Amino acid sequence: AQTVTQSQPEMSVQEAETVTLSCTYDTSENNYYLFWYKQPPSRQMILVIRQEAYKQQNATENRFSVNFQKAAKSFSLKISDSQLGDTAMYFCAFMKRTAGGTSYGKLTFGQGTILTVHP
């Protein structure tokens, strides 16, 4: 079974600064996907960024980037130039990829990190 751990229950950052959210995971699988989801207060959870484990290059999406360390089983999220709208709970998630390329759609989530961006 896979587990995902987010060791920071809460984080805060000043607007325009950079913050890094930590995530570690435990798996015996070699092929998998990792995700960061964002859940703003009273709003829907949305995908922020995803990473395929077989790709060495770290994924980036505008101000969001990841530091994927496969050997260390670490998958941190860096938010640059933080904005007030980035205030949300952030979830790290894992999805196994089978040998046939299927995934069964099963996401395993971490406990979440509440990020507050201060003006």
Partner 1 sequence: ETGVTQTPRHLVMGMTNKKSLKCEQHLGHNAMYWYKQSAKKPLELMFVYSLEERVENNSVPSRFSPECPNSSHLFLHLHTLQPEDSALYLCASSQDMFSTDTQYFGPGTRLTVL
User: Which residues of the chain form contacts with partner 1 (CB under 8 A)?
Assistant: 4, 33, 37, 42-47, 50, 52, 91, 95, 97, 102-112
Give whichever of 50 and 63 is closer to partner 1, judged by the CB atom.
50
Give which of 56, 119, 36 is closest to 83, Cα–Cα. 119
What gap in Å lies between CA 52 and CA 45, rounded to an integer? 20
Cα angle 115, 77, 61 (rounded to 5 degrees) comes to: 110
Q: Which is nearer to partner 1, 50 or 73 (CB)?
A: 50
Q: Which is nearer to partner 1, 51 or 82 (CB)?
A: 51
- Name which of 14 and 45 has its Cβ closer to partner 1: 45
SS3 state of residue 24: strand
* Integer Cα distance of 94 and 107 in angstroms: 6
- How far apart (Å, rounded) are the C-alpha atoms in residues 29 and 1? 9
Structure tokens at 27: 């798996």
Size of the chain, expressed as the number of residues it contains: 119
